[in-house]
Structure 1
Amino acid sequence: MKRKTIDIITLGCSKNLVDSEQLMRQLKGSGFDVTHDSETPKGDIAVINTCGFIGDAKEESINMILEFAQAKEQGSLKKLFVMGCLSERYLKELATEIPQVDKFYGKFNWKELLHDLGKAYHEEYNIERTLTTPKHYAYLKISEGCDRKCSYCAIPIITGRHISLPIEKILEEVRFLISQGVKEFQIIAQELTYYGVDLYKKQMIAELIERIADEPGVEWIRLHYAYPAHFPTDLLRVMRERSNVCKYLDIALQHISDNMLTQMNRHVTKEETYHLIEQFRKEVPGIHLRTTLMVGHPGESDEDFEELKEFVRLARFDRMGAFAYSEEEGTYSAENYEDSIPYEVKQARLDELMNIQQGISSELSALKIGQKMKVIIDRIEGDYYIGRSEFDSPEVDPEVLIKCSEGILSTGKFYEVQIVDSDDFDLYAKIL
């Protein structure tokens, strides 16, 4: 049994997770048993799907490879394979440094792994995946790569040019996922708003989302990783008109000072950013905005950081993450700027920014007390059912907690609730 079991370990983002799920379906179709992110690996073979985005992620990936390499040396593992973004970027170096790995693959040639295991790629499963998420939601990847050239970002180096999947192929996958019980779709891409430019010679994200929304069985659609420059405003109409398109947008803004936006090669200004946020909230009343900001990029002055803090206070994002600049070799920043801001300063700025946001999040959560919401139940934890509203994406956003004593609820089902309490992030509710 052990010889027919393969352990898949996925690191990094949800786009990597989709790749792992596709590989798992192929392996199962070839007769293997497959585990995912198992705390105690069970097989003779392990596949690590790595992340290579920033320093911390690269370190996590390397540590995971070394841990499994040690298991192989000790005899508890026969074969070790590595794929994903880290090995796409550093394939030759890794093969030299960690010879215990039987073979490194990049991000896009994982089909070769099947051949190396003596199996063929099953074309009939090309849209199928073995879901690692709860069966009621799935991530839906609509493109690969990115044509943006942000100064700090290694993603275009790793993934290459933007390549959109055809609309019909995406819809085929949606229908398959619905047949598996999926009701909620997290739409993901390196850059969502560029969708279609390569295939259809224009931005097609609004039409794609309309087409997905028309599929029977699609209850919620949530949009991730938009870009502010040349934002396709027709998408706001779709969000406003379609009840199954969540009033939620994940748009990474990174900074607000014109000085930093220029140095970051963001192709947007402070004035345009404020106008865009205003437009979002005017055209889609009740929209919840998630953003990501960066501190410590080369050239960020105290004045730039003060502007950023003021931006967070004024914009009052519903969801916000932030990270400190990490120099990535091969990027514009690494080759043209000096990483001169000390780590301690970056960390202090990061802490200060997140403290401001924590207060805002707490205030915004408290304003929801008394409101009625539709939530989907993800799981049970201790004395609570854990659910989410349309404004909450899995794993990154707040959750809605309902006491188990409220009654018997079913995972993957929707319920009407009333919010009765809140803390800094999560909400507490009762069933109506």
Structure 2
Amino acid sequence: MNRSKKRKINVVTLGCSKNLVDSEHLMAQLSDNGFEVVFDSNDTDADAVVVNTCGFIGDAKEESIDTILGFARAKEEGLIDHLFVMGCLAERYKKELKEEIPEADEYFGVNDLSAIVRTLGGRYRDELAGERMLTTPGHYAYLKISEGCNWGCGYCAIPLIRGRHVSVPMEKLEAEARALAGKGVRELIVIAQDTTYYGLDLYGERKLGELLRRLCRIEGIRWVRLHYAYPAHFPDDVIGAMRDEEKICPYLDIPFQHISDAQLRSMRRGLDRAQTYALIDRLRREVPGIALRTTLLVGYPGESEADFAELLEFVEKVRFERLGVFPYSEEEGTYSAEHLRDDVPEEVKRRRVDAVMALQNRISRENNLRRVGCIEEAIVDRREGAFLVGRTRCDSPEVDTEILIETDRELAPGTFLRVIVTDADDYDLYGRPAER
């Protein structure tokens, strides 16, 4: 890149929080090299734009391609000078993207941060590998503890894109978490493609429970929240840590995907219906008040009406606090694409998605209404008009319920306060500060 031109770089991140962390690491390196770095900006006054893409499912691919095309047009019009593309879509479809969108200067995979920095005219510093330029509000941050995945679920392309599971050494994660706490982060959200596998490659055994306990010892961190826990062979020590450690939120993002034994076998999930129900029962018994978030997949090859009826019964019976559902889309190279026929019509997939969400909307509203009258600890995220907008220990940012706190008090984001819940609807709570 011509160093005599503007040294402003816009990093645009698409997809999941794991991508967000990659962008934050890249931005820290660029900032250290003297670049002015902005993120997720639609402005076109930057010298270069870096698009960090998602390539997980069809909709995410489409969004990534549309974003690249938009900045490619801006480059052709002379509004930006350089366009670089990184991330999952670029990792998986680099050859095709180069042919279809040659306007991009270069495409980089998921592990090419140092190459991106060099191409932009900077020097990658290994000693800054744990540094982050936060794009989240300053009071919470994601902590990515590993890369890749070893499970090989039938529908999932992540191992093809990001490779096998590689854990980050515990000492590096502790140092990164301490640095985040020093910047004012009060809530750590622990993420990976599969957090429960953590440590097996480095230490010969799963170490997530120990890692969570160590994170709880870091001064300044008030909440630790766990995402993306794989349900098969769920580690006992994680349940123990969640039960014993006050800082660990009673919250777990655990994607079950289905409940039918036939579907679970075909998806290659590594557990069955009975084990699923047993794990849920144990989590709720040993971690009282735990909020469970799950993800379901409908329309997978061979899903019968009986399988789907079983899934609806599962949702009704378990009454998840949080739930998302996606229709199956065939991903080339995966087990299901290679060995199974995509035999559920698209209109049936959509109807099943709608049926699950209609049921979950009712359950969510009923769950929320039961919280009316309760006093809960909340963290303030922002102000909107007459309300402070926050979250309880049972709610993760961006994806879960928010609590709208009616008060004229001015409290900074990241402030904790006790709130009495006064009303609720499907996906929001309402409250006011509780008297001490």
TM-superposed deviation, 1:42: 2.6
Q: Is the 8 A contact 1:2 1:42 kept in 2?
A: no
Question: Does residue 277 of structure 2 align to residue 263 of structure 1?
Answer: no
Give the match for residue 244 of structure 2: 241
Q: Is the 8 A contact 1:9 1:36 kept in 2?
A: yes
**Can you list the C-alpha shifts for 1:269-307, whole angstroms capped at 9, x where unaligned?**
100000100000011111110000010000000000000
Rounded Cα–Cα distance in structure 2 between residues aligned with 1:288 and 1:136: 22
Q: Is the 8 A contact 1:385 1:402 kept in 2?
A: yes
Rounded Cα–Cα distance in structure 1 between residues aligned with 2:234 and 2:121: 46
Question: Does residue 89 of structure 2 align to residue 123 of structure 1?
Answer: no
Give the match for residue 412 of structure 2: 410
Q: Is the 8 A contact 2:379 2:417 kept in 1?
A: yes
Rounded Cα–Cα distance in structure 2 between residues aligned with 1:88 and 1:259: 33
Question: Does residue 258 of structure 2 align to residue 288 of structure 1?
Answer: no
Q: Is the 8 A contact 1:369 1:420 kept in 2?
A: yes
Rounded Cα–Cα distance in structure 2 between residues aligned with 1:123 and 1:293: 39
Instruction: Single out whichever of 72-81 and 1-10 deviates more from structure 2.
Output: 1-10
Question: Does residue 403 of structure 2 align to residue 426 of structure 1?
Answer: no
**Can you list the C-alpha shifts for 1:77-96, whole angstroms capped at 9, x where unaligned?**
11000000000001111111
Please list, as runs of the form range in 1=range in 2, the aligned pairs for 1:48-127 lying within 5 A after superposition: 48-127=51-130
Cα distance change, pair 244–41 in 1 and its aligned pair in 2 (3 A): farther
Q: What code does the residue aligned with 1:241 have?
A: D
**Structure 2: gaps of 5 or more residues:** none
Give the match for residue 336 of structure 1: 339
Q: Is the 8 A contact 1:15 1:188 kept in 2?
A: yes
TM-superposed deviation, 1:2: 7.4
- SS for the counterpart of 2:227 is strand
TM-superposed deviation, 1:5: 0.7
- SS for the counterpart of 1:322 is strand
Give the match for residue 254 of structure 1: 257
Q: What code does the residue aligned with 1:245 have?
A: I
Instruction: Single out whichever of 32-41 and 394-403 deviates more from structure 2.
Output: 32-41
Q: Is the 8 A contact 2:407 2:432 kept in 1?
A: no
Give the match for residue 351 of structure 1: 354
TM-superposed deviation, 1:122: 2.1
Q: Among residues 147, 151, 155, which one is paired with 2:150 in the alignment?
A: 147
- SS for the counterpart of 2:364 is helix
Rounded Cα–Cα distance in structure 1 between residues aligned with 2:77 and 2:43: 15
Aligned pairs, number: 431
Q: Is the 8 A contact 1:6 1:42 kept in 2?
A: no
Q: Is the 8 A contact 2:407 2:433 kept in 1?
A: no
How well do the aligned residues superpose, as a CA RMSD in angstroms? 1.0
Instruction: Single out whichever of 122-131 and 142-151 deviates more from structure 2.
Output: 122-131
Q: Is the 8 A contact 2:181 2:221 kept in 1?
A: yes
Q: Among residues 2, 19, 28, which one is paired with 1:25 in the alignment?
A: 28
Rounded Cα–Cα distance in structure 2 between residues aligned with 1:249 and 1:409: 28
Rounded Cα–Cα distance in structure 2 between residues aligned with 1:143 and 1:156: 13
- Structure 1 runs of 4+ aligned residues shifted over 6 Å read none
Instruction: Single out whichever of 140-149 and 104-113 deviates more from structure 2.
Output: 104-113
Instruction: Provide the identity percentage.
Output: 54
Give the match for residue 374 of structure 2: 371
Rounded Cα–Cα distance in structure 1 between residues aligned with 2:386 and 2:59: 34
Q: Under a length normalisation based on structure 2, what TM-score does the superposition of the two structures give?
A: 0.98
Rounded Cα–Cα distance in structure 1 between residues aligned with 2:156 and 2:117: 31
Question: Does residue 281 of structure 2 align to residue 278 of structure 1?
Answer: yes
Rounded Cα–Cα distance in structure 2 between residues aligned with 1:118 and 1:36: 19
- SS for the counterpart of 1:3 is coil
TM-superposed deviation, 1:382: 2.4
Rounded Cα–Cα distance in structure 1 between residues aligned with 2:380 and 2:185: 13
Q: Is the 8 A contact 2:44 2:79 kept in 1?
A: no
Q: Is the 8 A contact 1:4 1:43 kept in 2?
A: yes
Rounded Cα–Cα distance in structure 2 between residues aligned with 1:396 and 1:317: 14
